[in-house]
């Protein structure tokens, strides 16, 4: 492939490339169809195709296109061809000729210049060229032979119509996008609007279509086809420009409104300050804090500290971090209700009415609370004290606390200590920490706005400990009436008088409460409810509450007393009433489904309807285990009382031995050892064969092996089971017992008498054996619990044996 003469190959034959600009100036503008060369050098471009109707600057890399431009500048016509390439070649020296499209644009080069490794020139589009033959393609400069597609000179009517449509679209685009106005003016100066080819190319160049779409227009030589391609592209551009203008106008309108508002507000601020009508942020803050303190009685130390902080606030810059810290401190310090006390309603009749309204049963608890209120009424004020309500879940500890607050007419604040591990939640963080806050007690005082509220500390037995501190120890200072006169919150660093606060704590069990803390509390035990009490609670509180929750009228849905009793016996035997409430809710929901189908229906629930709604009963009427070596014991758990059968049997007579099962704790294992030793050594006096245990391998089991069991109240029961086994005589039926045994046969007292009596009644056991020292505890029980129950009080184990055998 040889190069043509007007393009000599050796660049050294030309003038210095720096003079490219000099060579390209001074020539007149070339018009399409005049002096068009058939051999031209080419340069690929990558952004978008260059159209014949355009005059635009083009920038290319000096390496490898300097030589090409040198050669062009030396030619007579100063023309080269620009071809569009979709993806740039990695190395222009190794050119992929197949990547080049068939059509490009012949341009005349003007004003070539060189700067920072780039070459820039103004390209004036002349006409379409079609690539015919490659004359040189091994390395730049690339030389090709081209031909010029023939176009009809006289436009048809259809072409003229399309031309008018294109001009109208361009006119629409102009006011929408002013960027095009200069370009259009240049075009109109150079071309006649009647010339359809440049008009179509110019219209395509105005659009923001992709490179490949524009190349399709360049490839399309027939006039009408090309116009058919370009007109939709131009219409789309008009729509996009119109939408863009609308969005811009909306954004500008919003920004304008905000700016106007901002300027007016700033002007108003300045005018108000000039007239003395308003104050700056700092003055407003100080005035707000001073207003808060009006009517409050501050201790001298607190007044002095707050005054110091106010002075500090008045000289700090509002933007400084210290200002924010000081402002936050004053916000809390002035929110405390210093010296503001609510008036107590010391009316015992009102208090009894409130307690009866909210709680069925619990007569002993109500009496205990009324005694507590009576002392306050007699004295004229209720000084702060700590009441601890202990009982199984769901017996109403939290609601008793609310009732106490209501009967006193004091505000009530509750927070849970369950899982709390950080003492800062009680006593606050020091101010030096980021995000520091006062403790929960300051939060409570701020919320209730008096210094003598009722504060409930829920779940005090479930506090944790961690490396962050021991909140139980932090509560000692908080709760002790001797110390909390000067309670110190770490954040405020001011002494607060909590001595008038009535603290009510709740717990399920006392085991996990530290001794020093428990020592400061008045313990009130709430035992579980018996069936009669549960029925009353369900009728008065739980059932109406569930109906209201579901929006069902009392006339549409009713439940009989016998159904309530069957529900409690079969599905909700726990000590509290939470499970009972859930089951009642389930019944109401099932009934609502029927009411939706038939809104006028009246549904009455009886005992037979329970199984359809709630499934089979969870609890069956337990057969109280009986027979030789089987005794029914009574146990206390954190969920209330329970019956606990104990079984003893002889496995074989090959050797002496004793085996224990039933997941027993250390205390119960010891009780079993004591019972075994006592019965073995005293078997003759109880009418058994003295040699029985010498030859027998005995197994003692406490059923429900999966449930952990521990506690000092099963010694008597275990001894009775072993004695029944040794005498080979079944014990008296329908008797349950509790009590601890010593090696000398004394029966020791136990706790939880009320819960154990309730558990026996629930199991229809009406004959009990209790330790003699617990006689007082039994006598104190309400009459309805004692009714129909026969109790034998045992001082020694012999008294138990008399009753059983």
| 296 carries a ligand binding annotation | no
Contact 146, 129 (CB under 8 A): yes
Measured torsion, CA atoms of residues 669, 671, 677, 678, in degrees rounded to the nearest 10: -170
735-737 and 630-637 as β-strands: parallel, antiparallel, unpaired?
parallel
Q: DSSP code of 658?
A: E
Contact 604, 560 (CB under 8 A): yes
* Backbone φ and ψ of 468, nearest 5°: -80, -10
| 391 carries a ligand binding annotation | yes
What is the spatial order of strands in the sheet that 640-652 belongs to? Answer: 657-661, 697-701, 640-652, 630-637, 735-737, 767-771, 790-794
3-class secondary structure, 297:
coil
| 394 carries a ligand binding annotation | yes
Contact 741, 713 (CB under 8 A): no
| 398 carries a ligand binding annotation | yes
| 396 carries a ligand binding annotation | yes
CA distance linking residue 800 with residue 419, whole number of Å: 44
Q: DSSP code of 176?
A: H
Residues in the chain: 805
Contact 58, 45 (CB under 8 A): yes
Residue written as token pair 């001011």: 494
With a CB cutoff of 8 Å and minimum separation 6, the contacts of 786 are 757, 778
Q: ∠ CA(463), CA(466), CA(470), 5° rounding? A: 55
- The first and second tokens of residue 797, run together, are 């184990």
Q: Of the residues 499, 713, 720, 777, which is catalytic?
A: 713
Burial of 231 (0-12, 13-18, 19+ CB in 10 A): middle
3-class secondary structure, 166:
helix
| Among candidate residues 715, 527, 537, the one with its CA nearest the CA of residue 637 | 527
Q: Of the residues 403, 720, 756, 777, which is catalytic?
A: 756
| 604 carries a ligand binding annotation | no
Contact 603, 558 (CB under 8 A): yes
CA distance linking residue 712 with residue 670, whole number of Å: 9
3-class secondary structure, 31:
coil
CA distance linking residue 130 with residue 725, whole number of Å: 118
| Among candidate residues 567, 669, 633, 655, the one with its CA nearest the CA of residue 765 | 633
Tell me, yes or no, if 756 is annotated catalytic.
yes
Catalytic residues: 713, 756
Which residues are part of a known binding site for ATP?
391-398
Which residues are part of a known binding site?
391-398
């Amino acid at each position: 492939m040889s190069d043509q003469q007007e393009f000599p190959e050796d660049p050294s034959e030309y003038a210095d490339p720096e003079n490219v600009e000099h060579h390209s100036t001074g020539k007149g503008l070339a018009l399409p169809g005049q002096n068009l060369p058939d051999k031209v050098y080419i340069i690929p471009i990558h952004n978008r195709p260059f159209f014949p109707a355009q005059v635009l600057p083009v920038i290319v890399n000096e390496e490898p296109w300097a030589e090409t431009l040198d050669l062009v500048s030396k030619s007579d016509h100063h023309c080269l061809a620009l071809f569009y390439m979709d993806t740039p070649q990695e190395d222009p020296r190794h050119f992929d000729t197949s990547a080049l499209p068939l059509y490009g644009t012949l341009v005349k080069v003007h004003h070539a210049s060189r700067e920072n490794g780039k070459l820039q020139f103004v390209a004036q589009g002349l006409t379409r060229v079609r690539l015919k033959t490659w004359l040189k393609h091994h390395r730049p400069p690339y030389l090709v032979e081209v031909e010029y597609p023939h176009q009809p000179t006289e436009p048809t009517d259809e072409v003229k119509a399309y031309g008018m449509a294109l001009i109208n679209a361009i006119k629409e685009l102009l006011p929408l996008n002013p960027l095009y106005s200069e370009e259009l003016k240049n075009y109109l100066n150079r071309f006649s609007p009647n010339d359809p080819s440049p008009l179509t190319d110019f219209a395509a160049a105005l659009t923001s279509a992709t490179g490949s779409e524009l190349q399709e227009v360049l490839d399309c030589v027939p006039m009408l086809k090309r116009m058919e391609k370009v007109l939709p592209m131009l219409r789309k551009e008009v729509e996009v420009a119109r939408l863009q203008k609308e969005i811009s106008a909306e954004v500008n309108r919003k920004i304008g409104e905000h700016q106007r508002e901002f300027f007016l507000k700033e002007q108003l601020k300045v005018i108000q300050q000039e007239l003395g009508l308003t104050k700056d942020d700092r003055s407003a803050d100080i005035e707000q804090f001073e207003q808060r303190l009006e009517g409050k009685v501050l201790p001298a130390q607190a007044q002095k500290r707050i005054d110091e902080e106010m002075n500090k606030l008045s000289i700090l810059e509002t933007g400084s971090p210290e200002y924010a810290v000081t402002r936050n401190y004053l916000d809390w310090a002035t929110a405390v209700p210093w010296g503001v006390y609510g008036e107590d309603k010391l009316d015992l009749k009102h208090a009894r009415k409130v307690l009866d309204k909210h709680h069925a049963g619990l007569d002993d608890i109500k009496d205990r609370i009324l005694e507590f209120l009576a002392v306050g009424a007699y004295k004229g004020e209720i000084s702060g004290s700590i009441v601890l309500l202990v009982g199984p879940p769901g017996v109403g500890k939290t609601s008793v606390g609310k009732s106490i607050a209501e009967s006193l007419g004091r505000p009530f604040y509750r927070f849970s200590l369950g899982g709390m591990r950080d003492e800062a939640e009680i006593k606050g963080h020091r101010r030096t920490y980021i995000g520091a806050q006062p403790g929960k007690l300051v939060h409570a005082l701020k919320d209730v706005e008096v210094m003598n509220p009722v504060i409930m500390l829920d779940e005090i037995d479930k506090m944790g400990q961690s490396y962050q501190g021991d909140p139980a120890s932090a509560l000692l200072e908080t709760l002790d009436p001797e110390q909390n006169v000067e309670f110190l919150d770490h954040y405020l660093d001011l002494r607060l008088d909590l001595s008038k606060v009535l603290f009510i704590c709740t717990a399920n069990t006392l085991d996990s409460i530290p001794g020093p803390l428990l020592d400061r509390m008045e313990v009130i035990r709430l035992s579980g409810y018996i069936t009669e009490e549960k029925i009353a609670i369900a009728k008065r509180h739980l059932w109406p509450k569930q109906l209201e929750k579901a929006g069902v009228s009392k006339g549409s849905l009713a439940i009989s007393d016998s159904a309530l009793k069957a529900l409690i016996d079969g599905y909700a035997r726990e000590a509290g009433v939470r499970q009972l409430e859930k089951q009642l809710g389930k019944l109401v929901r099932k009934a609502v489904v029927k009411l939706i189908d038939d809104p006028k229906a009246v549904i009455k629930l009886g005992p037979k309807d329970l199984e359809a709604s709630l499934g089979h009963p969870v609890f069956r009427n337990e057969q109280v285990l009986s027979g030789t070596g089987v005794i029914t014991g009574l146990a206390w758990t954190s969920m209330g009382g329970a019956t606990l059968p104990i079984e003893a049997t002889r496995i074989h007579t090959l050797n002496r031995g004793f085996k224990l099962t039933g997941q027993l704790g250390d205390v119960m294992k010891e009780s079993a050892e004591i019972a075994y030793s006592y019965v073995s050594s005293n078997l003759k006096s109880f009418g058994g064969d003295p040699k029985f245990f010498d030859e027998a391998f005995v197994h003692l089991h406490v059923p429900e092996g999966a449930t952990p069991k521990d506690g000092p109240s099963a010694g008597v029961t275990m001894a009775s089971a072993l004695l029944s086994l040794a005498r080979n005589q079944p014990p008296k039926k329908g008797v349950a017992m509790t009590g601890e045994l010593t090696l000398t046969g004394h029966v020791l007292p136990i706790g939880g008498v009320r819960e154990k009596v309730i558990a026996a009644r629930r199991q229809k056991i009406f004959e009990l054996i209790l330790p003699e020292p617990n006689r007082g505890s039994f006598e104190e029980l309400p009459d309805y619990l004692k009714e129909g129950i026969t109790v034998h009080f045992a001082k020694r184990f012999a008294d138990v044996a008399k009753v059983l055998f």
